[in-house]
């Protein structure tokens, strides 16, 4: 019998071995996600894929996971990945008085968006502003750009339709374009 990620999430609340099996299953996916976020960083970037995944594990691995399924887990991972990248960029920039802004190219579906070329701090600041104006749209954008979730997975995580995800993603891209260009 094959155990799903969702089943392991449920079991991990009370069974430590289930939590270890859960991380073994999602570790490759987390590495791919981290690698995608870091592959277009500047040359000599000190943060590597394994370090980013290890940091993500430290934030999520020891926590009691109060998530309902795989999509919800990936949404939580996306939020933590965003926090880690923002913290790293801030620490990197603090010693240089803003001179060495870390730029990160983000994955996209369809046409290029302004978020592709935005630095992680610029994108974070814009997403914070969008969260205050339209939190559901900001959530869709965050899950897509930072979590690498498909529109179907975003719909499942947020309990909305794929058509709504598509509309919010188009709105979010337009909104980001107006702020980041």
Tokens 């509309």 — which residue? 167
Who's near 20: CB < 8 A, 6+ residues apart? none
Alpha carbon distance, N-terminus to C-terminus of the chain: 51
Query: Residue 152: what pLDDT?
Result: 92
Question: What is the SS3 assignment for 119?
Answer: strand
Query: Residue 44: what pLDDT?
Result: 57
Which residues pair with residue 119 across a beta bridge? 103
| Model confidence, pTM | 0.68
Query: Residue 161: what pLDDT?
Result: 95
CA distance to 113, 130, 139, 153, 170, per residue, from 134 (Å) = 19, 6, 9, 20, 13
What's the CA gap between 19 and 165, in Å, rounded? 30
Query: Residue 62: what pLDDT?
Result: 65
Query: Residue 74: what pLDDT?
Result: 80
What's the CA gap between 69 and 8, in Å, rounded? 9
Per-residue pLDDT 10s for the chain (181 aa) are 556 778 887 887 788 888 788 888 888 888 887 787 777 555 556 678 888 888 888 887 766 667 777 788 888 888 888 888 888 877 777 655 444 444 444 444 344 444 444 577 888 888 899 999 999 999 999 888 888 888 998 998 889 999 999 999 999 999 988 888 7
Number of domains in the chain: 1
Query: Residue 113: what pLDDT?
Result: 47
Q: Which of 16, 130, 156, 159 is nearest to 74 (CA)?
A: 156
Identify the domain containing residue 101 by its residue range.
5-180
Residues 77-92: b if buried by 16+ CB within 10 A, e if exposed: bbbbbbebbbebbeeb
């Amino acid at each position: 019998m094959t155990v799903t990620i969702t089943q392991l999430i449920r079991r991990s609340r009370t069974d430590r071995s289930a939590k270890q099996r859960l991380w073994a299953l999602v570790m490759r996916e987390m590495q791919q996600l981290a690698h995608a976020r870091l592959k277009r960083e500047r040359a000599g970037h000190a943060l590597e894929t394994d370090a980013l995944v290890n940091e993500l594990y430290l934030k999520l691995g020891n926590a009691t996971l109060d998530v309902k399924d795989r999509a919800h887990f990936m949404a939580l991972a996306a939020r933590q990945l965003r926090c880690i990248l923002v913290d790293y960029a801030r620490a990197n920039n603090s010693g240089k008085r803003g001179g060495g802004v870390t730029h990160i190219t983000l994955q996209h579906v369809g046409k290029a968006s302004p978020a592709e070329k935005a630095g992680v701090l610029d994108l974070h600041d814009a997403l914070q502003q969008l969260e205050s104006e339209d939190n559901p749209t900001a959530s869709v954008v965050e899950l897509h750009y930072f979590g690498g979730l498909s529109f179907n997975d975003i719909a499942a995580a947020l309990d909305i339709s794929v058509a709504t995800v598509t509309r919010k993603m188009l709105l979010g891209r337009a909104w980001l374009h107006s702020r980041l260009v």
